[in-house]
Structure 1
Amino acid sequence: MKNDDAIAPVVAVMMILVVVVTLLGIWNAIYLPGFKQQAEVEHLRDVENGMVRFSADIDNSIFLWRNGTMSESIPLGGGDILLNSIRSGGGIRINQRESATNVIDVDGIPSAYGFLSNITYEPVSNFWLNQGYSWEEGTINVSRGPVSVPISLENQYLEARDAFRKNLLKQPEYSNDYHNITIKIVNITPHSLNSASSGNGNSQLKLNATVVRLPEWSGVTNLTVNGLPPSDLKYPANVTIERLDIILSAE
């Protein structure tokens, strides 16, 4: 009897441990993946919303055409919950396109360029889908592997892209009986040092806009914008180029 009395508490503890281990197994196998996936869905939604807001910041900067800074917080990682703090990660990269979007030639000499850059977010060790996002020409795209599609309807995507492209080069401003011309172009480039960020915390997407007025050209006899001459300009002309430099950074 004494042996039975001594064994009984041990058996009870072992039974409790079996129940606890079983419950933990059920939690890890059934419930935990679902909660992690739901948290990851919310994380990716926050990434998308942050990219959309930053796209609007760029649009506003071009519309306002003045010096200024704007920033948006982008969560690189997510998927953490109360009972499991392991997070996925991600990375943001800003890449400048090789060719200039707009080129202005003064008397046959390339004198001003307007470049464009792309922003990409790529997930790392995602608990749901390896779903990334990108900003290109004023639009947001969602990607899974090599496939990338706009988050908006096709007609809305095309309208937004075309409107953005149009705003990169403003309509010429004339004076002095069409002998003076002012041309405004947008130049979007990555920061020389902070063009990428990675980890599982938050990254700050920032833009710094500066209006640069280039020295005036006098007595110009030949002016082309993307290979075409302004139709109303009279020569000899005085040419002023105003460039909005937007520097993008990820910190």
Structure 2
Amino acid sequence: MSVELPAAPNATGVHYSDSPIQLEFDFAGSMAELTGFYAKALSPAGWKQTTELPLKSGIYDELIYGNTAKDLLTLRMHHFEGMTRGLLRFQTAAEVTEQDRVAKAELERRAKEKSSPPAAKAVSMPVPADAKNIKVTKGEIEFNVANGKAKAAVERLVKALTSEGWKGDVKNYDDLAGAVSLSNGSAHLTIHYTDTGVLPAEVGIDAIGVELERSSRSSTEQRPDCR
């Protein structure tokens, strides 16, 4: 589609482009003088300003013109080395509709991402073969082991996790109790235990940003499976 894009009087550095259809130039006058010129030059062809004054867009002032066919002309201006640098761009009604559709789809996508965060990845966590009273939820695993075995069980589990990319933040071990914090990106695990020798030793794994599930094999047979 051909459209006439008039250049302002005494414009310099005039450059016309067919794709997109636009005119670039430098104008020795002010922005007000430039918009005054286009108000007169475009009116006979049926173009009308959509706003009374230019709109600010960063360093630019923009003025938009529309016609009965719903095509658009956008005049973009900014100050440059004592002159007004201008760009006049033409868009068909179909191009404007498609631009609006793409922009709306992007806004909807962002809103959906914000309201529906991505599902947390799952970590298949092996437990010792002799573990008892195993309790598993998405955010926690608890189990008992024989007295005197909790520290070793936790150390094996931590070793397997670090080989899968988890990093230790805080580590505090002794024979009676201990805890270690591990992270992998935005996911965090805290593994803790108590082993007093009076009651069965207790081991717990708490998760943030990741879902836990029990592996079908024991910690002596398999590494944790992160997926």
Structure 1 length normalisation: TM-score?
0.25
Structure 2 length normalisation: TM-score?
0.27
Q: Which has the larger radius of gyration?
A: 2
RCO comparison, higher one (Cα < 8 Å, 6+): 1
More helix by share: 1
